[in-house]
Chains A and B, each alone.
Chain A
Amino acid sequence: MNAVEFILAGMLAAATPFLLAALGELVVERAGVLNLGVEGLMAFGAVIAFIIVYHGGGHFIAFIAAGICGALLSLVFALIALGFRANQVATGLAIGILGQGLSALFGKSYESLTVKGLPKIGIPGLADLPVIGGLFVQDSVVWLSLLATLCIWATFAFTKTGLVIRAVGENPKAAHAIGYPVIAVRVAAVAFGGMMAGLAGAYASVVYTPLWADGMIAGRGWIAIALVVFGTWLTGRVFLGACLFGAVSLMSLAAQTTGLDLPSQLLSSLPYIVTIIVLGIISADRRLLKLNGVASLGEPFER
């Protein structure tokens, strides 16, 4: 298998933790809320899922539990940032620290243990294509994540729900005036984002690299938040960004196998460096950000 085939085959799986978390944060930010706790929510979901799979609960239950736990922890964020109108940046950071702490606490006796991942499902016909065939052999969660991307895109493009979320994020006062429950919509969006982050963490710990290590999320939650900016709050672009980061994280692996003489620390920091560079390039276009950005992002709503 050459490097191109390797990256094509693995890209979607590597992208999935980024994708799930970023899709969740996209919905949260579209509703006008900035939740910076994604890294901690992912870590919390990851440890819950790992413990359940390790004790034989199975992947299905593990993902459900991780989603519920992520949503519950993000509701603490909602209570404090939306209920008590606390600073969203500080609240998000606190939830992040708390989630990472809980994950380390619960995961302590599971350090370096492994579990079995998920089998891959190929699409008949397409899977046998040369070079790009690997793209069509993925585990079930990857296929479901692609479906989720489609659903979220369609929700924002065609449904009233999507319209209400956007109205609440763009102009909460006007949305309130025409009778939409601003706070309730935002709480629901935050819970959805927490659930998606929990699922993303679960994918990282029980499917993508099915082994437990403290700090295994390794900045992926933060990159997911950056991806929402890269995607200028558009579902399709967030998906492309996640694929790019999936490819970048695989490239560091591919570079090591091809015997490129680069320090492994440089390759490990590649995703972070790419994030910084892309963030600079996208943000420099102020008009683009202003056009697609969410007007009331991070501001508390007061009647």
Chain B
Amino acid sequence: MSMTHFVPNLVRRERASRKAMLLAPPLALAAAILLNLALYVLMGRDPAAVVHAMLLEPFLSWSSFSEVLLKTGPLLLIAQGLAIGFRAKVFNIGAEGQFILGAIFASAIPIWFPQATGGWIWPAMLLIGAIGGALWAGITAFWRVRLNANEILVSLMLSLVAAQLLYYLLLGPWKDPNGFNFPQSVMFQYDAMVPTLFAGTRVNVSLLIALALSLAAWVFMQRSFMGYKLQVGGLAPRAAGYAGFSEGGAIWLSLLIGGFAAGLAGAAEVAGPLGQLQRSISTGYGYSAIIVAYLGGLHPIGIVISSLVMAAISIGGDNAMVSANLPIAAVRVFQGSLLLAYLVAVAFVRYRLEWPQISARSPS
């Protein structure tokens, strides 16, 4: 009797299961939490303390929840942009680099014009940052469309180059001359800062911009002809070709949108909580946002929820580092296992398990 008789079969459902689609993210989250708690126990940590620090504390006080909201902004922005590309099967995984370029472009204004004043400065920084991110993503688009190169590899390599470019600027021309040799720029002037939303917190207007753009993403993907063309290109490239939808156009559009959103997020980070260009402007937002996009089912509304969850986990991870002595790398492990759990869960949207019948097992 062969082994395969004991392995259940994946059988394609006649139609995608809506119940499975809605259940997949929370179930994946629960599975990832259990798996990681088991890991923490193996590492000799107190699981109750970790649960408290990681999953409850972010919601227990306004000040820590406001930090969750602060972290939600960039994740939400980047993930909305990426999801549009992922739906069109354009795998831009270089949002990290586009985020860095956004931060660099935005910083140029306060660094070159430190004396400038006026209410135009921070909006101009956000706009220029978004353009910077889009330009950086445009390199990938050019390589993909004109040179047929794989966008996954090119966009990732460009992220590694972007990090080096940032270090070069911070150790060289843009280093704060009075900064005790730290790799950081001067502190920006008051008008270069995005206004805060709630007094006493660091949450700023960029969260509203992210929510507004989420709504725009929903309208674009669900209601516009252009969004429809992108989705058809992703789902049925051949049909899209027959209908005269250009593949190159879809790739350009996907990458430019993704780069624009990531660049905007990078600009909002330096013009918001940081107030200067630093070496550690990103704590891996560009990579976390990939997980946020998938966990939200690549749907604009789902992504609003998943970005909040991911931000809470990230703040919770910071808490657990202090109170439960958990290394910060644990957050990365959690994120990776969460995406894996989600991918398993989402398999049940299209497939169901069929266990072999007892009778089928008997030798024929």
Among residues of A, the one whose C-beta sits closest to the C-beta of B348 is A84
Q: Are B154 and A276 in contact (CB under 8 A)?
A: yes
Among residues of B, the one whose C-beta sits closest to the C-beta of A281 is B147
B330 contact set on A, CB distance < 8 A: 101, 105
Q: Are B156 and A94 in contact (CB under 8 A)?
A: no
Known A-B contacts A229-B150, A280-B143; the reply to A265 vs B329 at CB < 8 A is: no
Chain B binding surface SS class:
helix
Q: Are A93 and B10 in contact (CB under 8 A)?
A: no
Q: Are B327 and A85 in contact (CB under 8 A)?
A: no
A6 to B330, CA, bound (A): 40
A84 contact set on B, CB distance < 8 A: 10, 343-344, 347, 351
Q: A interface, how many residues as a size bin?
A: 35 or more
From A97, A229, A268, A289, B339 is in contact (CB under 8 Å) with A97
A40 contact set on B, CB distance < 8 A: 336
Q: Are A283 and B147 in contact (CB under 8 A)?
A: yes
Q: Are A102 and B333 in contact (CB under 8 A)?
A: yes
A155-163, A218-226, A238-246: which lies at the interface: A218-226
Shortest C-beta distance, A98 to chain B (Å), equals 3
Q: Are A272 and B157 in contact (CB under 8 A)?
A: yes
Among residues of A, the one whose C-beta sits closest to the C-beta of B170 is A265
Q: Are A36 and B347 in contact (CB under 8 A)?
A: no
Interface centre among A95, A263, A286 (most CB of B within 10 A): A263
Interface residues of A in 66-116 (CB under 8 A from B): 76, 80, 83-87, 89-91, 93-105, 108
Shortest C-beta distance, B293 to chain A (Å), equals 10
A226 to B334, CA, bound (A): 28
Q: Report if A269 contacts B (CB, 8 A).
A: yes
Q: Return the 3 tightest CB-CB contacts between A and B, nearest first.
A: A98-B336, A101-B332, A104-B329
- Known contacts A101-B331, A104-B327; can you find 16 more A-B pairs with CB under 8 A? A36-B152, A80-B340, A86-B344, A86-B346, A86-B347, A90-B343, A93-B93, A94-B291, A94-B343, A97-B332, A98-B332, A101-B332, A103-B329, A104-B329, A229-B153, A272-B158
Chain B residues packing against A (C-beta within 8 Å)? 10, 12, 91, 93, 143, 146-150, 152-154, 156-158, 160-161, 164-165, 167-168, 171-172, 287, 290-291, 294, 327, 329-337, 339-340, 343-344, 346-347, 351
For this complex, 10 residue pairs linking A to B, each with C-beta atoms less than 8 Å apart, are A83-B10, A84-B351, A97-B287, A101-B331, A222-B156, A229-B150, A265-B167, A276-B157, A280-B154, A289-B148
